Amino acid sequence: MRVLSGIQSSGKLHLGNYLGALKQHIELHRDHECFYFIANYHALTTVQDADRQRELTRDVALDYLALGLDPNKAALFRQTDVPEVCELAWILSTVTGRGLLERAHSYKDKIAKGVAPSMGLMSYPLLMAADILIYDSDLVPVGKDQVQHIEMTQDMAGYFNNAYGVEVLKRPEARLNQAYTVPGIDGQKMSKTYGNTVDLFDTPKKARKRIMAIKTDSTPVEDPKDPDACNVFAILRLMASPEETEEMAAAYRGGGLGYGTVKKRLAELYEEQFGAARERRAQLEADSDYVEDALIDGAKRARAVATKVMARVRDACGLVTVRS
């Protein structure tokens, strides 16, 4: 089974990215063949500054490696190192109706938040489908906001196979974990574009400040509280053990527990879970060859698969591949 996923290099990674996506990526790479890439072509829809793009691309690689991804096991690479995805995106665009893209929630959300409605943003799902289909991927671990894009990918694989009467493209499945939508400090979905994130690699002081700023209601300390209606608890349950989560839920219901106490515990869990990774990240940052070599090696492995699938696709369409 081949697992594939991508993360855009469009900002610093946050707890939503980790709990919803990266955590599954790292778990899955222990027992499966995994391809993970930095979606820097996609990031151009929002970041149009070359220095910043270079920095953010490297940041995502560092984050993965610091969090425990072994680049000898999973192929970690830059999307742009397999430029064939752009060719496949074009081919998919010729079999996909405009209506499908017009229904994309993510496109509508981004425009509502002020992202420029470029053709790139509109065709974002075509490139994402190409990213997935070009590696014959079986499983795509993502957060809930990406599920529609994966359903569109399944549709596009079908459109292509039907148009040419051959089963060339493999239909992938999405994989969600329990953290399918992590709330931000204001209670909306945690997102770079909302400015409501707790970043993964903030200094302990800054992270604590963000955690202490999570919005809660004004129920007095003594009163019973509903754990299922609290943003702090929603994040805590994704980071604490099941036993601690149970105890905390009981304490909410019993009354006498202040939100401040829960926030402090969440800040501790953050430090327990990311403290060591922060140190590892600082060491890796000083070893730029290691990071670059890992990305180049990952791209080689990924590209070997992509060129084979593209040869199949071209052949199915009657496009001639010149073999060198």
Applying CB under 6 A, the span of 16-24, 163-171, 201-209, 215-223 interacting with ligand AMP comes to 16-24
Which letter, b or e, does each residue of 298-317 get, where b requires 16 or more Cβ atoms within 10 Å of its Cβ?
bbebbbebbeebbeebbebe
- Binding of residue 85 to ligand TRP (CB under 6 A): no
Angle between helices 242-254 and 231-239 (to 10 degrees): 160
Q: Which of 192, 209, 225, 264 is catalytic?
A: 192
User: Which one among 34, 140, 190, 236 touches ligand TRP, defined by CB under 6 A?
Assistant: 140
Q: In the annotation, is 192 catalytic? A: yes
Q: Which of 23, 108, 189, 225 is catalytic?
A: 189
Residues 298, 77: contact at Cβ < 8 Å?
yes
Q: Write down the least CB distance from residue 285 to ligand TRP, Å.
A: 24
- Binding of residue 42 to ligand TRP (CB under 6 A): yes
178 burial via Cβ count (<10 Å: 0-12, 13-18, 19+): exposed
Backbone φ and ψ of 307, nearest 5°: -65, -35
Q: Which is nearer to ligand AMP, 148 or 245 (CB)?
A: 148
Q: Which is nearer to ligand AMP, 64 or 160 (CB)?
A: 64
Element housing 77 (H / E): strand 75-78
Q: Write down the least CB distance from residue 290 to ligand AMP, Å.
A: 24
User: Which one among 9, 45, 96, 146 touches ligand TRP, defined by CB under 6 A?
Assistant: 146
Q: Which is nearer to ligand AMP, 33 or 199 (CB)?
A: 199
**DSSP conformation class of 169:** S
Nearest Cα to Cα of residue 239 among 217, 210, 266 = 266
Interface residues for ligand AMP in 171-200 (CB under 6 A)?
Answer: 179-182, 189-191
Q: Which does 138 bind (CB under 5 to 8 A by kind): ligand AMP, ligand TRP, none?
A: none
Compute the C-alpha angle 199/200/205, nearest 5°.
70
Q: Which of 23, 110, 225, 263 is catalytic?
A: 110
Beta bridge partners of 174: 140
Residue 39 tokens, joined: 């979606």
Amino acid at site 158? G
- Binding of residue 17 to ligand AMP (CB under 6 A): yes
Distance, CA of 135 to CA of 3 (rounded, Å): 9
Distance, CA of 143 to CA of 125 (rounded, Å): 15
Q: Write down the least CB distance from residue 110 to ligand TRP, Å.
A: 10
Just list the catalytic residues. 110, 189, 192
Instruction: Provide the binding-site residues for ligand AMP, judged by CB under 6 A.
Output: 7-8, 16-17, 20-21, 142-143, 145-146, 179-182, 189-191
Chain residues in the site for ligand TRP (CB under 6 A): 4-6, 8, 39, 42, 128, 131-132, 140, 142, 146, 149
